[in-house]
Amino acid sequence: MKKAIFFHAGCPVCLSAEQDILNLIPADQIEVVHLGDEKDKVADAEKAGVKSVPALLTPNGNVLHINFGASIEDLK
């Protein structure tokens, strides 16, 4: 089966969202791509329809853009 891909860019307020996603989805079904570190994958992400991060590209090609926003805790 094709894996889901979680795209992010390492923004501190999104790390919690990433951890939540990884806790929920079995490890063998998801790949994580850090677009800040892996800049050669930005074009691929864009081609897949990713408009903002974090975003989850599902195995069937849908892109779920996630607006986590900032947790109050992260702003303290």
Contact positions toward a second copy, by CB under 8 A? 4, 16-17, 20-21, 23-26, 29-30, 58-60, 62-69, 71
- Which residue's CB is nearer to a second copy, number 23 or number 37? 23
- Give CA 9 to chain center in angstroms: 8
Smallest gap from Cβ 20 to a second copy, in A, equals 4
Least distance between a second copy and beta carbon 40 (Å): 26
In order of 49, 53, 54, the CA distances from 10 in angstroms are: 19, 9, 9
Return the ∠ at Cα 62 (arms to 56 and 63), rounded to 5°: 40
